[in-house]
Amino acid sequence: MQARPADPSQHRGHARGRPMPGRMTALLVLGLAVLNACSDPPPPAEPAIRSVKTMIVEARAGERLRRFSGRVAAATTAVLSFPVAGTVSRIAVKAGDTVERGQLLASIDSRPLELEVEGTRADLRKAESVLEQRSGVLRRNDELLAKGFIGEASIEQSRADVAAARSDVAYRKSRLDRATLSLQDTRMVAPFDGVIGERLVQPNEEVGAGKPVLSVLGEDRFEVEVPVPEVAIAQLAVGMPAKVTIGALPDLHFDGSVREIGRVAGAGNVYPVKVALVEPPSQLRAGMTAEVSIAASGPDEEREGFLVPVSALKPGSEPGRGDVFLFDSDAGIARMTPVRILSVRDNDAVVTGLERGHRVIVAGVAFLSDGQAVRLMATSAR
């Protein structure tokens, strides 16, 4: 049997069904290249703009306000007590009552002292009677001496008896005066117009001489007592003007002046300072919380400088020199500005080279450079 030749169509079909990896890879690479050639390159990433915290330069160092918290107190106060011991028989007032000068406030049992006054008065009368008797004897002896009936020794004894009687009368008078004064001291009266602050005892209570019974506060003058730290006390002086705000009266503002500066520091190294209020309102009460603002002084050279936080300074190449960054709102950049550092107060520095109204960057200056783009974050005034 003769073999038939193979069908060419069968060879072609077998060839189409066979994979051709090399040819497919080439086509894929070519397609990607065409796509890349037709797309635009991505734009470069924009640098991040730093947000900065700023403050507006406003007050010179000589105009700096220091603020202290304190309490309102009556400028005239008195803690009243009885000069004598006894039993409280009456208290005619209570805390908060308005009183007038000379008004009876309280009294103690006066009967023991009344008896003492009567006794000393009787002793005085007796002593005066003895003096009168001895004076009569002296007059008669003077007559007898003039007639020569008695000697000089007798008249000297009469004179000595009269002198002793006079001394006894003076002593009895002083005792009566003391007893009368003690009797008067059983009545407590208001020393001035004001209001009762505290009532410290009750009727029928036994009190010793000098024990506090009532406190009276004058309502004509008020002051604010504030503790001032040692770092600020040297900048204050008696007579400095002050502005006062009261927590309970937020809509009212008062003028005042420094009236007294303590010489000895108390707990926490603070000094007591009293600020007198000018024309306080009728609503003001002792014990209210207050805030006092005082323009602190300094050396003449520093008064023309401006205060900026120490955090706003970038150290300079020379002592007493530095740089700050000002925010340029038109260009949106930070501009480095040289300044002269006059002094450092707490967390602030007194510098020259700035002008009122400049906006100073106060944080993160170590990471800034001159001309760097920045964005405003917050503003405070100084």
pLDDT in tens, 312-365: 999 888 888 999 999 998 888 999 999 999 887 667 888 889 988 899 999 888
Angle at 199 (CA atoms; ends 288, 185), nearest 5 degrees: 130
Inform me whether the pLDDT recorded for 3 exceeds 50. no
Most confident range (mean pLDDT) of 1-5, 60-64, 247-251 is: 247-251
Q: Is the pLDDT of residue 268 over 70?
A: yes
pLDDT, tens digit, 9 for 90 and up, residues 169-219: 999 999 999 999 999 999 999 999 989 999 999 999 999 999 999 999 887
How many C-beta atoms lie closer than 10 Å to residue 111's C-beta?
12
Say what the pLDDT of residue 12 is: 45
Comparing CA positions, the residue from 360, 355, 359, 224 lying closest to residue 292 is 224
Q: How many CA atoms lie within 13 A of 171 on its CB side?
A: 10
Residue 2: pLDDT band by 50, 70, 90 thresholds? very low
Question: 17-21, 90-94, 129-133, 217-221 — which is least confidently predicted?
Answer: 17-21
**What pTM does this model have?**
0.54
- Can you tell me the distance from the alpha carbon of 377 to that of 95, in angstroms, rounded to the nearest whole number? 54
What's the CATH number for 54-61+304-381?
A: 2.40.420.20
For residue range 24-53, what is the model confidence (pLDDT) as tens digits? 555 555 554 544 545 555 565 556 788 889
Domain ranges of the chain: 54-61+304-381, 65-75+221-295, 80-108+186-216, 111-184
DSSP one-letter code for 42 = P
Which tokens go with 176? 């009566």
Three-class HEC string of 308-369: EEHHHCEECCCCCEEEEEEEECCCCEEEEEEEEEEEEECCEEEEECCCCCCEEECCCHHHCC
The pLDDT, as a whole number, for residue 131 is 92
In one-letter notation, the amino acid at residue 319 is P
On average, the pLDDT of the chain sits at 83
The 10s digit of each residue's pLDDT in 228-240 is 988 788 878 898 8
Could you tell me which CATH class the domain 111-184 is placed in?
Answer: mainly alpha
Range name among 116-120, 305-309, 369-373 with the lowest pLDDT average: 305-309
Q: What is the DSSP letter of 1?
A: -
Quote the tokens at residue 185.
């001291």
Q: HSE-up of 70 (CA within 13 Å, CB side)?
A: 25
- CATH architecture assignment, domain 65-75+221-295: Beta Barrel (2.40)
Instruction: Name residue 164's beta-bridge partners.
Output: none
The answer on pLDDT for 11 being more than 60 is no
Of 38-47, 121-130, 367-376, the least confident? 38-47
Q: Is the pLDDT of residue 13 over 50?
A: no
Tally of CA atoms within 13 A in the half-sphere of 135 that contains its CB: 9
pLDDT tens digit sequence for 136-147: 988 888 888 887
pLDDT of res. 356:
86
pLDDT above 70: residue 6? no
pLDDT at position 1 over 50: no
Specify the CATH architecture of the domain 80-108+186-216: Beta Barrel (2.40)
Task: Select the more confidently predicted residue: 59 or 263.
Answer: 263
pLDDT digits (tens, 9 = 90+) for 68-82: 999 999 888 899 999
Asked whether 311 and 380 are in contact (CB, 8 A), the reply is no
Of residues 369, 313, 367, the one with CA closest to residue 341: 313
Residue scoring higher pLDDT (171 or 62): 171
DSSP one-letter string for 143-211: HHHHHTSS-HHHHHHHHHHHHHHHHHHHHHHHHHHHHHHHHHTTEEE-SSSEEEEEE---TT-EE-TT-
In this prediction, residue 378 carries a pLDDT of: 52
